[in-house]
Amino acid sequence: MPGFELIGEEERAALNELMDEGGVLFAHGFGPMRKRYHVRELEAAFRDKLGANDALCVSSGTAAIKVALKSLGVTYGDEVITQCFNFIATVEAIVDCGATPVIAGSDETLNMDPTQLEGLITKKTKAIMPVHMLGVPARMNEIKAIAKKYKLPVIEDACEAVGAKYNGQYAGTLGDAGVFSFDFGKTITTGEGGLVILQNAEMAEKSRWYHDHGHMNLEGRPRGLDRAGITGFNYRMSELNAVVGKAQLAKLDYILEESGKRFKVLCDGVTVPAFKKRAIPEEAEPAFDTVIFEVKDKNLRDSTIALLSDMGFGTKNLPDAMNWHCSVFWDHMGFDTRTPAAMETLALLERQIAIPVVLGRSVEDYAALADALNALAD
């Protein structure tokens, strides 16, 4: 979330520099008119920062999911397993490929419950897509073990977990592919934008083709005489977004460090049992952008939401944007939304309150919030 709070001189200077360099906003060609290829530079910077094999910038996180699915050939009649607590984009991308979303419920981490996975795998399953919701990685060891047993690829939706880690490795680099969003609400932002982390060379090639109308960028051929390797689409990122992205990426470690202080003060400071902290897998280090408590008592839940509003923190998606984050509400997409696992997850989600971690509020503000929550439950 804090990326937008830190938009400032660095982003402004990067945009001005782009204009001074020739003002080419397209990520391909126009060599004589430009000095650099910023989209390619952002991809390399992300690849190196995250320790990944390959990275591809695209126009949004939603596009990143679609590109990853298409690079696997996901199509009509296929099934992709994802989770109930989610953002609608993940399921939209599956449906847009002509495939059917199959929904796993959540465990106490609020992410994909790996114990449900084997029961959901069928002959039609093409991929497993865990989603690291609100900054906390899913139980990837267990998910990957099941994927390996059934020889299924894993696409991590790490849109809400830029900078989070699992087993010391960045979220998004643990599966065959990982996707990030840089929309305006994310840890770092390019306004709109996304990234596909590609660990598998065949998926990387198909992703590059697909996001650019199928262009194979064959060596020695001008773009106009290039060949198409796949039925593609346009999900390219522009140079404008890329220069902002490079400035934001340089701020990522600072954002994580400062968010971590606020996250810790709030988590450690709330000591009353009426507020149950979200479980975090022991292998995981969150991106620290949200603190979630389960509050079973309805009256206490209501008074907590009122207190968060009074103190100017508000809530983040739980409970204020449930319709967009719980698959039970997505009947319009024509799949079975009301499975027992999904209904159970809805009940679990209805007891949660998610508090945004922002840098515009001080560490002391979060300590004061912890005190106020303890007092409220007394």
Ligand X SMILES: Cc1ncc(COP(=O)(O)O)c(C=O)c1O
Binding site for ligand X (CB under 6 A): 60-62, 87, 89-90, 131, 157, 159-160, 181, 183, 194
- Residue 81 token pair: 């397993």
**Is residue 144 annotated as part of the catalytic site, yes or no?**
no
Q: Where are the alpha helices (DSSP H) in 156-297?
A: 201-210, 239-249, 252-269
Q: How many CB atoms lie within 10 A of CB 371?
A: 11
* Cα–chain center distance at 140: 15
Nearer to ligand X, 92 or 142 (CB): 92
CB 355 within 8 A of CB 313: yes
Q: How many CB atoms lie within 10 A of CB 368?
A: 16
CB 135 to ligand X: min, Å: 11
* Eight-class DSSP state of 154: B
Nearer to ligand X, 68 or 159 (CB): 159
Nearer to ligand X, 50 or 159 (CB): 159
CB 86 to ligand X: min, Å: 6
Nearer to ligand X, 68 or 348 (CB): 68
CB 39 within 8 A of CB 271: no
The 3-state DSSP class for residue 56 equals strand
Nearer to ligand X, 61 or 245 (CB): 61
* Helix, strand counts (H, E) of the chain: 12, 13
CB 29 to ligand X: min, Å: 26
CA distance 145 to 208: 28
CB 188 to ligand X: min, Å: 12
CB 196 to ligand X: min, Å: 12
CB 349 within 8 A of CB 294: no
The 3-state DSSP class for residue 52 equals coil
Q: Closest by alpha carbon to 373, among 353, 351, 358? A: 353
Nearer to ligand X, 64 or 270 (CB): 64
Q: Are strands 276-277 and 284-285 parallel, antiparallel or unpaired?
A: unpaired
CA distance 297 to 27: 53
Which residues, at least 6 apart from 378, have a Cβ–Cβ distance to it below 8 Å? 272
CB 50 within 8 A of CB 63: no
CB 1 to ligand X: min, Å: 11
Sheet with 155-157: list strands edge to edge.
54-58, 194-198, 177-181, 155-157
CB 194 to ligand X: min, Å: 5
Nearer to ligand X, 105 or 194 (CB): 194
Active-site residue identified among 144, 165, 186, 206: 186
Active-site residues: which are they? 186
